[in-house]
Amino acid sequence: MTTTGKGTRPRIDFGRPTLLLRTRGPGISLMLDVRTLVVGISLILAGLAVGLFSLATGDFALSVPQVVRAFEGDADALTRTVVMDWRLPRVLSALLFGAALGMSGGIFQSLTRNPLGSPDIIGFNAGAYTGALLVILTVGGSYLQIASGALIGGVLTALAVYVLAFRRGSQGFRLIIVGIGISAMLASLNHWLILRAELEVSMAAAVWGAGSLNGITWQQAGPAAAVVVVVAVAALAVSRRMRMLEMGDDAARALGVRAEPTRVLLMVLGVALTAAVTAVAGPIAFVALAAPQLARRVTKSAGIALLPSALMGAVLLSASDLAAQRQFAPIQLPVGVVTVCIGGIYLVWLLAREARKS
C-alpha cells in the first residue's frame, strides 16, 4: 500500500516492480521497490565518486591510486596527512551532514504533507543558530558549549512552533505558517545580536552563520557524526509509522499508530538531526528543502522515503562543498553560499510548478 502525493488517502500501486527478499527466519521478509533500489545504489556511487574526487583535488593534487594507498597505509607521511587528517574529515562530514539534513527535511515534509515543510523554512535552523549565537557572543564558547546552545535553541524553537500550532492536534499547514513567523522573528533577533557585538566576534559569527565546513577536524566531526548516526537509525525505525501518518490521523490510528506521540517523536528526531549539523557547520540552508523532493521525483514514490532523501542530501551537500572549495580557489567559500544558490533556483522552480498546478 502506498499513499498519494499529498498523503491524504491510501492508494495501492500494482504497477511498480518489487523484489521480495526472505531470510531463513520464520515469516521474515522485506519488499524492495526495484526503482528505489537502483536509484539508491546510484546515489551511493555518486556520493563515493564526489568524495573520492574531493580527496584527490586541491592545492596538493593527488591521483586516485595515491588516495587509495593513503587508506591502505602505504603512502608517504605527507600524503597520509593530507588525505586522512586534512581532507577526509571534511568529505565524510559533507556526506553525513547532507544525509542528516535530507532525512530531517523528509521527516518534516512528511509531517506537514507539504514540500515547503523543511527545517530551514519552519524555523528550526534559525532557532539552532540563535542558540549557538547567544553562546558565541556571551561566553565565547567552546565547541561543546556551541553545540549545546544549538541543540537547546533548536529544541526550544520546535517546542514553541508545536505549542502555537497545536489545536486538537498539530496540523501541517499551521506548523508551516507558525514556523515561518517564528523564523522571521528569530532571523531579526540574530541580525540584531550580530550588529550589537564587537566587530571581530560578529564577523566570526556571521561567517559561521553562512554554513561552512572549512577547517573541520576529527574532534569536531566525530561527536556530531555519532549523534547523527544514532538519531538516523531511530528515525528509520519509526519511518513506517511516519508513512502511515501521511494517510491521515484517523487511518493511522485504525492501523494501530498513536498519531500525536508519533508526530512529537518524529519532530524531536528531525530537530536533533538539524541541530547536530548546525552545531558544527552552522545553518546550511535548502538541502533539507530540496533533497526529499528530488529523491521523491527520481524514485517516483508516492510519499516521502527517508533513506533516498538522506542519500540525495549527502550527494547535494558533498557536491556543493566541492564547488565551494574549487570554484574560486584558492579562496574557499562557505558551503551555505552554494546551497543557497542551488536552493533558490529549486524554490523558484517549485513555486512556479505549484502555481501551474493550481
Position 88 scores a pLDDT of: 93
Burial class (CB in 10 A: 0-12, 13-18, 19+), 73: exposed
What structural domains and CATH numbers belong to the chain?
2-21+34-352 (1.10.3470.10)
Burial class (CB in 10 A: 0-12, 13-18, 19+), 33: buried
Share of the chain above pLDDT 70, in %: 89
Q: How confident is the model at residue 159 (pLDDT cuts 50, 70, 90)?
A: confident
Cα dihedral value 288, 188, 163, 244, nearest 10? -10
In a 13 Å sphere around the CA of 53, the CA atoms on its Cβ side amount to 15
Instruction: Convert the pLDDT of each residue in 87-135 to its tens digit.
Output: 999 999 999 999 999 999 999 998 888 887 888 888 888 888 888 888 8
Position 1 scores a pLDDT of: 42
Q: Taking Cα atoms as reference points, which of 170, 180, 118 lies closest to residue 343?
A: 118
When mean pLDDT is compared over 98-107, 212-221, 281-290, the highest value belongs to 98-107
Residue 173, pLDDT above cutoff 90: no
Measured distance CA(317)–CA(180) in Å, rounded? 24
Instruction: Convert the pLDDT of each residue in 55-79 to its tens digit.
Output: 999 888 888 899 999 998 888 889 9
Q: Please, what is the average pLDDT of the chain?
A: 83
> Which amino acid appears at position 150 of this protein?
A
Q: 98-102, 173-177, 216-220, 239-243: lowest mean pLDDT where?
A: 173-177
Instruction: Convert the pLDDT of each residue in 228-265 to its tens digit.
Output: 999 999 999 998 888 888 887 788 888 888 878 888 89
> What single-letter DSSP state applies at residue 85?
I
192 Cβ neighbours under 8 A, 6+ residues apart: none
Q: CB count, 10 Å around CB of 191?
A: 12
Burial class (CB in 10 A: 0-12, 13-18, 19+), 171: middle
Q: Which residue has cell 508526530? A: 263
Single pTM value for the model:
0.85
Position 4 scores a pLDDT of: 43
Q: How far is CA 158 from the centre of its chain?
A: 16
Instruction: Convert the pLDDT of each residue in 1-19 to its tens digit.
Output: 444 444 434 444 445 565 5
Position 9 scores a pLDDT of: 41
CB 149 within 8 A of CB 172: no
Q: How confident is the model at residue 291 (pLDDT cuts 50, 70, 90)?
A: very high
Q: How confident is the model at residue 49 (pLDDT cuts 50, 70, 90)?
A: very high
Q: How confident is the model at residue 28 (pLDDT cuts 50, 70, 90)?
A: very low
Cell of residue 169, nine digits: 492536534
Element holding 264 (H helix, E strand): helix 259-281
Position 73 scores a pLDDT of: 84
Cell of residue 70, nine digits: 593513503
